[in-house]
Amino acid sequence: MLWKPIRLVPAHTTFDFMGKRKIALVLSTLINVLSLVGVFAIGLNFGIDFEGGIAIQARAKEGTIHLDELRATTGALGVGEVSLQEFGDNRTALIRVQRQEGNAACVAHADTVMKKRAGSGWSVKPSPDPKVGDVEFTAPSTLDSAGWRDAVSRVGLTVQERQLPRANTNTVKIEMTPEQRAEWCQQVAIKLVEDAIGSKYELRGTESVGPKIGSELMHSGVIAVVVTLAAIAVYVWFRFEWQFGVGALIAMLHDVISTVGLFVVLQLDFSLTALAAVLTIAGYSINDTVVVFDRVRENMRRYKKMGLVELLNFSINETLARTLMTSMTVFVAVLALVLFGGPVLYSFSIAMLWGVIVGTYSSVWIACAGLVYLKLRPEQLRPDDDKAKVKA
């Protein structure tokens, strides 16, 4: 043999896990309450996926980025809140612009962009009635409908010819609902930023999420989390007993809430990938839990006289090696993602790393301690239908 396997975890441990359950309970409650308080008091740093808005990755054409200069330039545009950060390396900046309202300021921006891109003879004006989103364009000369369509596309507005007059005119009123105008204003803001920084920066990627889609993604994200947790809990309930299902559910909630808490504390970008991380953590943390539960069930059938706390301690110690080993394999894989996965995956990877740790912790202390408080007894177990097979 080339080398002997190293046992990272001793084969026999007799750690009193359940004896520490009160400390764990206090600690976990504290973390979870603080996480929830943090969400409401400080708030998550929502990415544009959920809030709507614009994210632009800009790379300096020469040298490194100057965040102060960029901040001054973009802040003066009047497109609302702009946040800046270095992204990946010191040549690239991530510029985030808040979701645009379809207000008069946006039409004024459109006017600026139009004048810059098409000439000073052009103008864009909002409709006098604030309840409708109509916008009036004026050109220096008369244009036909195709010409108008080209012209308005310079400010990111896509219209059909039949929305335009058939006769040649030099003013055009485009009818829009306020909602449609709000979506268009996103395009206007992108062009405005483009014009302002275009000379010094190259835009490598642009993302724009309109006001409507953002709230929808938020909605479906919440549903996804709820449904996933419920589905997994029901699965565990069917495979084991309801006490196990409840224990698993509490453990998952613990992991999900504390992961969200991590996002609050580190102010990581909470985007769709972050949501993916939360769901994966829920699915992954249950892995360890199931392994422990499986052993608890097996031992309960074997040692019918043993007290629950003692039995849980015994089972956890028996499975401790695999609980820690499985977590470590995922931990090293995720570590590679954190270190080399690049800026886009950064929030995701950090969350996963945290999830692996907290998931391991929760399967021991939260899920199993739950069984103690739910007063699981051996006679509540279903008869063992696997037994005959195992004996064979």
Q: Is 5 in the site for another protein (CB under 8 A)?
A: yes
Residue 60: closest CA among 87, 79, 96: 87
Question: CB 212 → another protein: shortest distance, Å?
Answer: 6
Nearest CB to another protein, comparing residues 10 and 75: 10
Write out the binding residues for another protein, residues 86-115 only, by CB under 8 A: 88
Q: Which of residues 169-208 bind another protein (CB under 8 A)?
A: 180, 183-184, 186-187, 203-208
Alpha helices, H only, 267-304 = 272-302
Specify the residue, 38 or 287, whose C-beta has the smaller distance to another protein. 287
Name the residue among 197, 293, 315 with its Cα closest to residue 237: 293
Which 240-279 residues touch another protein, going by CB under 8 A? Answer: 272-273, 275-276, 279
Tokens of 110: 């459109």
Is residue 116 near another protein by the rule CB under 8 A? no
Which residue, 84 or 338, is less far from another protein as judged by CB?
338
Beta bridge partners of residue 269, listed in sequence order: 45
- Per-residue DSSP letters for 214-277? HHHHHHHHHHHHHHHHHHHHHHHHHHS-HHHHHHHHHHHHHHHHHHHHHHHHHT-EE-HHHHHH
Of 21 and 351, nearer to another protein (C-beta) is 351
Q: Within positions 130 to 159, which residues make up the interface with another protein, using CB under 8 A?
A: 149-150, 153, 156, 158-159
Interacting residues with another protein between 342 and 371 (CB under 8 A) = 342, 344-345, 348-349, 352
Residues 19-58 that bind another protein (CB under 8 A): 57
At position 88, the amino acid (one-letter code) is G
The interaxial angle of helices 67-75 and 178-197, nearest 10 deg, is: 140
Estimate the crossing angle of helix 211-239 against helix 178-197, to 10 degrees: 100
By CB neighbour count within 10 A (0-12 exposed, 13-18 middle, 19+ buried), where does 128 fall?
A: exposed
**Residue 21 or 208: which CB sits closer to another protein?**
208
Answer for which of 40, 120, 129, 162 binds another protein (CB under 8 A) is: 162
Using alpha carbons, select from 292, 109, 258 the residue that is nearest to residue 194: 109
The residues in 280-339 that bind another protein, with binding defined as CB under 8 A, are 280, 282-284, 286-288, 290-291, 294-295, 318-319, 321-322, 325-326, 328-337, 339
In the bound complex, what is the minimum distance in angstroms from residue 254's beta carbon to another protein? 16
In the complex, what is the shortest distance from the CB of residue 325 to another protein, in angstroms, rounded to a whole number? 5
Measured from the CB atom, the residue of 126 and 156 that comes closer to another protein is 156
